[in-house]
Chains A and B, each alone.
Chain A
Amino acid sequence: MVTSSGSPPDWQVNAAGRSKVIGAWLSVWRSRELIGFFALRDIRVLYKQAALGVLWVLLQPVATVVIFTLVFSRLANIDSQGIPYPLFALVGMVVWSYFSVATVRGSDVLVSNPQLVTKVSFPRIAAPAAAMLPPLVDMAVSLALVAVLFLYYGVSPTWRVLAAPACILLVVLAAFGTTLWLSALNVRYRDVQHAVGPLMQLWLFASPVAYPASLFEGWHALVYALNPMAGLLSIARWSLLGTPWPGWPAVVSLITLLAVLGTGLLYFTRTERSFADVI
């Protein structure tokens, strides 16, 4: 806090040019309270009006899993790595839903509040960062359903469940990296708004949600793992369901995740100072 006594505070300079990327991580940390308030606002608003609240959260993954079970398990007879298919698909769907909802909401967060961008100077990165948090509540609710299926099928988790928080953190980072790109692009090109829905639709089928990534072998598996969600979904199932460790493809996915996150931060910080001018 700045006080009027003591040595004068430093100059804050506003000149042409770009903000620094390292500053972006710092400002995520410094504006953690603001991020918290943004997230709290969204959670409150989401649940205040919806009378059925939690049921809506479960409806989408459950409906999708039912359809996947009919199509992929019954008709196509997909191998689910020795796990009961509904449980296999639900774990995939829980992770995917988080990624998809967080990314869709996050990409919209700047353009849906233009006054906030043009009338207030707050760390811009706080807005997309905050959008990553409310879907975690949905995820927690869905994980309770996973626990119910565990009991139903008599599957017991192993010590690998301890890795689940780290795995969730990676999924959050993947969504954050994608969101940084899409939210900043959306400020300049509103086409992004229309593209996000179809993109997520395609991405869902390009990711091992309804089927295992182990369908791909050899170098195919490595190319397939360029999709960061491919590796993350395999790791999530490894942790929760005890399926085999995905191996090198997981490493490839982690590298692309870092690349998306790094370039996302770079693009966001390079463009954020012009947001107020072009939004």
Chain B
Amino acid sequence: MDVVQVEHVSKKYLLGERLNARESLNAAAARVFRRRQRVGGELWSLRDVSFTLRDGESLGIVGRNGAGKSTILKILAGITAPTIGESRTRGRVAALLEVGTGFHPELTGRENIFLNGAILGMSRQDIKRRFEQIVDFSGVERFLDTPVKRYSSGMYLRLAFAVAAHLEPDVLVVDEILAVGDAEFQRKCIGRMEEAEQEGRTLIFVSHDLGTLSKLCMRSLWLESGAVRDAGETPTIVRDYLASGLFSTLGTTPLASAVAALYGVRVVPEGADANSVLMPGDRLLIEVDFEVTDPVPGLDLAIIVTAEGGTRVLDELVSDSGIGRLARGAFRATLAVPPLFNIGEFSVGVWFGTSHEDFLYEPAAATFSLHGSDMGRPERLLNLNLPIAVERLNGA
């Protein structure tokens, strides 16, 4: 029996839609005089997405930031409506798009369990019946009557997930929630989702953690710019998705400026198959193919690596390597990066310019992801493993 049917769903967002009253009065006035005038642009977050799921099936969704993953989940959950097409679900849908939405810091753990349960669609009877399980799972029984503002972030997350995890829905929709929390929390969450699967619930799961996704989901859907790029067995999709991540996000047309054109950027592990997964221990080669069309004096090229949070971790100039003026013609610049980074997503930017003029700057010419273990330190950006010296201070 089908429990989820998504048929030709497209979703349009109007950019800059939030107007104040004056702007919308102006827009209304403009409409009177000029018939049609568009305020801001529009963005198709989803384009003609279709899939069906039978009961007990699980679907993983992969794709880069802005590919439409969250939008499809919001449509499945009924939070937002599609612009075109139809999404149908059977039975109770529980969507976990964010952990702890609706928790109030001033209320106690006990009060928040009931409030959050009600927000997620449970009746008071349901919550009472599962109260023990929720408390057990969260492990906060000693603090049930303490306001949650005094909880550690770990306790807070565990309690919030516990409420949602005990919804017993027919369709469970889970967004990137495992990105938060420690390894223990993640293990528990994944365990709970596996249980849900065994109980015959339908699971739809979005994650950048492709290992977990492969474990939980038989089938996967790969979204790119809002459209389904591929769908099928998870191992195949994950392999192709990872392979694609190594190459430039630029199209086939070069990015041109007055003095230079950028043809492509790729990130490959040194001495390994270009299609293999990148790991924190790999030495990476960042290759930039470009052409100088007008060799102005002082022209320089920079390769920039930015971490997920927007921190610029590398910014290397060609001139720093003692290479003089760039001549006319096509070149490949290669930056070898030693194993430095923790796991995560990074983007590679390219800049052309002189000391007083910028000609071309593409902050995300390519992206790459490092997969594997964060060695229990998810917040760490660099894996330098610097030694710490410890010496005894008192004379004893």
Verify B90–A12 contact, CB threshold 8 A.
yes
Verify A116–B80 contact, CB threshold 8 A.
no
A191 is contacted by which of B20, B115, B124 (Cβ under 8 Å)?
Answer: B20
A120 is contacted by which of B19, B83, B84, B101 (Cβ under 8 Å)?
Answer: B101
Verify B88–A11 contact, CB threshold 8 A.
yes
Residues of A within 8 A of B5 (CB): 11
**Once the chains are docked, how many angstroms separate the CA of A48 from the CA of B148?**
14
**Once the chains are docked, how many angstroms separate the CA of A44 from the CA of B112?**
12
A44 and chain B: residue at smallest CB distance: B107
Query: Beyond A4-B200, A41-B111, A191-B21, is A273–B82 a contact (Cβ under 8 Å)?
Result: no
**Once the chains are docked, how many angstroms separate the CA of A190 from the CA of B93?**
32
B87 at the interface (CB under 8 A from A): yes
Verify B107–A45 contact, CB threshold 8 A.
yes
Q: Which of A13-21, A52-60, A99-107, A152-160 contacts B (4 or more CB under 8 A)?
A: A13-21
A-B contacts counted at CB < 8 A amount to: 123
A276 at the interface (CB under 8 A from B): yes
**Once the chains are docked, how many angstroms separate the CA of A13 from the CA of B79?**
12
B170 and chain A: residue at smallest CB distance: A2
Verify B118–A12 contact, CB threshold 8 A.
no
Verify A14–B75 contact, CB threshold 8 A.
yes
Query: Beyond A116-B101, A120-B97, is A45–B106 a contact (Cβ under 8 Å)?
Result: yes
**Once the chains are docked, how many angstroms separate the CA of A13 from the CA of B78?**
9
Verify B119–A120 contact, CB threshold 8 A.
yes
Give the interface size class of chain B.
Answer: 35 or more
A41 is contacted by which of B87, B101, B115, B121 (Cβ under 8 Å)?
Answer: B115
Verify A189–B81 contact, CB threshold 8 A.
no
Residues of A within 8 A of B24 (CB): 189
A9 at the interface (CB under 8 A from B): yes
A122 at the interface (CB under 8 A from B): yes
A37 is contacted by which of B76, B89, B90, B118 (Cβ under 8 Å)?
Answer: B118
Verify A14–B87 contact, CB threshold 8 A.
yes
Residues of A within 8 A of B74 (CB): 118, 276
User: When each residue 145-166 of chain A gets 1 if its CB lies under 8 Å from chain B and 0 otherwise, what string results?
Assistant: 0000000000000000000000
A34 at the interface (CB under 8 A from B): yes
**Once the chains are docked, how many angstroms separate the CA of A252 from the CA of B348?**
68
Q: Separation in Å of the B228 CB from the closest CB of chain A?
A: 18
Residues of B within 8 A of A191 (CB): 20-22
Residues of B within 8 A of A15 (CB): 81-82, 85-87
Query: Beyond A37-B118, A122-B119, A191-B21, is A16–B106 a contact (Cβ under 8 Å)?
Result: no
List residues 112-138 of chain B with CB under 8 A from any CB of chain A.
114-115, 118-121, 123-124, 126
A13 and chain B: residue at smallest CB distance: B88
List residues 12-58 of chain A with CB under 8 A from any CB of chain B.
12-17, 33-34, 36-38, 40-41, 44-45, 48-49
Q: Separation in Å of the B49 CB from the closest CB of chain A?
A: 13
B119 is contacted by which of A8, A34, A278 (Cβ under 8 Å)?
Answer: A34
Verify A37–B114 contact, CB threshold 8 A.
yes
**Dominant secondary structure of chain A at its interface with chain B:** helix
Q: Separation in Å of the B143 CB from the closest CB of chain A?
A: 17
Q: Separation in Å of the A183 CB from the closest CB of chain B?
A: 16
Residues of A within 8 A of B83 (CB): 16
B102 at the interface (CB under 8 A from A): yes
Verify A17–B91 contact, CB threshold 8 A.
no
B117 and chain A: residue at smallest CB distance: A37
Residues of B within 8 A of A48 (CB): 106
Residues of B within 8 A of A202 (CB): none
**Once the chains are docked, how many angstroms separate the CA of A118 from the CA of B80?**
8
B13 at the interface (CB under 8 A from A): yes
List residues 102-124 of chain A with CB under 8 A from any CB of chain B.
113, 115-122
Residues of B within 8 A of A4 (CB): 170, 200
Verify B17–A121 contact, CB threshold 8 A.
no
Residues of A within 8 A of B77 (CB): 121
Residues of A within 8 A of B81 (CB): 14-17, 273-274
Verify A12–B89 contact, CB threshold 8 A.
yes
Verify A10–B90 contact, CB threshold 8 A.
yes
A270 at the interface (CB under 8 A from B): no
**Once the chains are docked, how many angstroms separate the CA of A2 from the CA of B115?**
21
Verify A188–B93 contact, CB threshold 8 A.
no
**Once the chains are docked, how many angstroms separate the CA of A41 from the CA of B118?**
12
A1 at the interface (CB under 8 A from B): yes
**Once the chains are docked, how many angstroms separate the CA of A1 from the CA of B129?**
13
List residues 213-255 of chain A with CB under 8 A from any CB of chain B.
none
Residues of A within 8 A of B82 (CB): 14-16
Residues of A within 8 A of B20 (CB): 189-191
A123 and chain B: residue at smallest CB distance: B121
A14 is contacted by which of B13, B86, B102, B107 (Cβ under 8 Å)?
Answer: B86
**Once the chains are docked, how many angstroms separate the CA of A38 from the CA of B107?**
12
Residues of B within 8 A of A120 (CB): 79, 95, 97, 101-102, 119-120
Extra A-B contacts (9), CB below 8 Å, given A13-B87, A119-B98: A1-B123, A1-B126, A13-B88, A15-B82, A40-B115, A41-B104, A122-B119, A122-B121, A278-B17
29 A-B interface contacts by CB (under 8 A): A1-B123, A1-B126, A2-B91, A2-B92, A11-B5, A11-B89, A12-B90, A12-B93, A13-B86, A13-B87, A13-B88, A14-B82, A15-B81, A15-B86, A16-B85, A41-B111, A45-B106, A45-B107, A116-B102, A118-B74, A119-B97, A119-B98, A120-B97, A120-B102, A190-B20, A191-B21, A274-B81, A277-B13, A278-B18
Q: Which 6 A-B pairs have the closest CB atoms?
A: A15-B86, A37-B118, A121-B78, A34-B118, A276-B80, A11-B88
Chain B residues near A (Cβ < 8 Å): 1, 5, 13, 17-22, 24, 74-93, 95, 97-98, 101-102, 104, 106-107, 111, 114-115, 118-121, 123-124, 126, 170, 200
Chain A residues near B (Cβ < 8 Å): 1-2, 4, 8-17, 33-34, 36-38, 40-41, 44-45, 48-49, 113, 115-122, 188-191, 273-274, 276-278
